[in-house]
Amino acid sequence: MTVGQQGPGSDGRVSSEDEGAPTERVRASSATPRTAALGEVDDRAYITAELPAVAPRRQSATEFRSAPTAPRRERREPAPTAFRVVVWSLFFVFLFTLAGLVTVELHPDWLSFLRNEEHVRQPVIPVQTTVPPVASTTMSLISSSAKTVAYGVPAPSFSVIVRTLPDNRCWTVANSPLTSKTATFSEVIPPNSSATIPLHSNGSVVLSASARSLTIVSGSKVLGTVTPPKYMVTYEFTSTSG
């Protein structure tokens, strides 16, 4: 740095020795500027400083890396597969449930095939009517066993007609009443023939051979027929008419 005083007529220029170097001129004055009178020497002080030009400084790679930067956001790891499967399953269940609720509200007939409907039938109450008893017109079976068959005959008095087969005769025994110890009829009926035995209100018939039929009659009315009767079996007939 060079400090000096310059009188009138000085132009304050830098010498030619320093013209080749870049310089920066600084002018400073510590006194208030004033106008010099004729014959006076200007006592103002001039300071000229030559400052070298400085190139801008570059940051090194180390300083650049060490400079504070914004925090780096780390990438998240994907969720476990099992967790994703559960989440998607719940999502689809929610969708199906929502669709079902909407369908039930808007179109309930679409889901009619899923309903278990039972039609309850009203109990039928039978109508009881009083029917007067009708007298039976045919004999009815009362009991049956290997040795005895009993019938009820709707007549106060009746007879039995024994009909034999064409090629077989039959010895027939009849008792009337049932409590009688003496046979009222005990004969051999020829083949292809018949015999009428009165039994009155009750009686029994026993056949010793195969026959065609046993017919119970009351007058001209046929009350019942046993076809074919079994031999060596006691047929009992009892009146059921009061």
Predicted local confidence at residue 216, as pLDDT: 93
3-state secondary structure of 73: coil
Q: How far apart are CA 236 and CA 143, in angstroms?
A: 10
Q: Which residue has the higher pLDDT, 20 or 77?
A: 77
The predicted model scores a pTM of 0.45
3-state secondary structure of 172: strand
Tell me the range of 16-25, 36-45, 212-221 where mean pLDDT is highest: 212-221
Predicted local confidence at residue 59, as pLDDT: 58
Overall residue count recorded for the chain in this entry: 242
Average per-residue pLDDT for the chain: 76
3-state secondary structure of 187: strand
pLDDT digits (tens, 9 = 90+) for 142-191: 999 999 999 999 999 999 999 999 998 999 999 998 888 889 999 999 99
Q: Which residues contact 215 (CB under 8 A, 6 or more apart)?
A: 160, 161, 163, 222, 224, 225, 226
Q: Where are the domains of the chain?
A: 1-53, 140-239
Percent of the chain with pLDDT over 90: 36
